[in-house]
Amino acid sequence: MKSNLFAFRAIALLAAASLILTACGGTGGGGGAPIQEVGEGEGAVSIIAWAGYIERGETDPAYDWVTAFEAQTGCMVTVKTAATSDEMVSLMNEGGFDLVTASGDASNRLIAGGKVQEVNLDLIPSWSSVDERLQNAPWHTVDGKHYGTPYQWGPNVLMYNTEAFPEPPTSWDVTFVEMTLPDGQSNKGRVQAFDGAIFIADAALYLKYHNPDLGIENPYDLNQAQFDAVVELLRGQRTLVNRYWHDAFVQMDDFKNEGNVASGSWPFQVNLLQFEGAPIASVIPVEGATGWADTTMMHADAPHPNCAYKWMEWSLNPKLQGDLAAWFGSVPAVPAACTGNELLTDAGCATNGFNDFDKIWFWRTPTAGCSDGAGDCVPYSEWVSAYIAVIGGQ
């Protein structure tokens, strides 16, 4: 099993390397000038999305923001679920899709690689309702051009089993350092880590707090010495990890049936497990958290551009935004969704972290030039190869 896993990782590395080649080269963006008017829908729209992001009531009839869209527009929605940002980039490279709900560690790669097109904000009337903190965010705005519409955002939380932790853990150390947990058992083999190279930033954030002598200021801007220290921490964590997760539903099953008690996770898993009555809760530890701010981006060669624009506009309506935030445990991109939504409730946005925006280190693709363009940082290609080696036990 491990040999098969490593072989898969090796293939993934080659694929990721091909994606990364364009990540630092120019501003990119494809498809020429954006369209000037939205015409008749083509009858379909295909979306690459994170699990739980495009719901039509099949899991819970209360959560359905697809059926009404299809009835109003005639655009039938199909969804391809992706488990990681690298998978999203790979799928967009293959083509044939209209939209993708890309996080910041994928969006700039897609722009630089010419795989997404500039959007015409004049064709998205609800743009003015988007949270001002997101309207010009660097993960979808390049040289004043917008390459998508904000969708949702939130933190990567520490999910834990309340029977193992009668009191909430205060540090990520329960996933990084071998120890006896409050239930009297070791954490070895009972914790998980995210199956994606971007998780290196979580480890960097941990060392930023616990080893200030390293001088880490930004977990995505790591010089070689800092990067080596982070990788060494991850090698040590490898002996504790039961599974490197990327499938949200597999992670939930592991917490219910396989004895896992602590891991970085998304509010989506926490919400569903709590709904099922599992002894699960979450916390943002003292070191802080990474997070994601996702953007609905349009493929440079979208086969259904009119339906794609109709969906981008639809995705910003307060009802959808509030229902999705309640379902996923995220924060709406449209503040108006924070009031008057029966599912989210008026307290939901604050509970999900609306006021924590400035505390979250949002995912982005590390580059050799660092975020300020003037540094000497380890690029994402090396993050990928190093993390594959860690997972492979090397």
CA triple 216-365-203, angle to 5 deg: 40
DSSP string, 254-285: HHHHS---EEEE-HHHHHHHHHTT-SEEEE--
Angle, helices 380-391/200-210, rounded to nearest 10 degrees? 90
Residue 21 has what DSSP assignment?
A: T
Angle, helices 248-257/267-275, rounded to nearest 10 degrees? 50
Domains parsed from the chain with CATH numbers: 22-154+293-362 (3.40.190.10), 156-290+368-391 (3.40.190.10)
pLDDT class of 29 with cuts at 50, 70, 90: low
CA distance linking residue 361 with residue 315, whole number of Å: 25
CA distance linking residue 316 with residue 136, whole number of Å: 16
- Facing residues of 258 across strands? none
| pTM, 2 dp | 0.85
pLDDT of 167 above 50: yes
pLDDT score, position 31 = 61
Contact between 351 and 344 under an 8 Å Cβ cutoff? The reply is: no
pLDDT tens digits for range 226-269: 999 999 999 999 999 999 999 999 999 999 999 999 999 999 99
Residue 120: is it exposed, middle or buried by C-beta count within 10 angstroms (0-12/13-18/19+)? middle
3-state helix, strand, coil in the chain (%, to 5): 40, 20, 40
Most confident of 34-38, 171-175, 266-270, 364-368: 171-175
pLDDT tens digits for range 109-120: 999 999 999 999
pLDDT score, position 394 = 78
pLDDT of 217 above 70: yes
pLDDT of 375 above 90: no
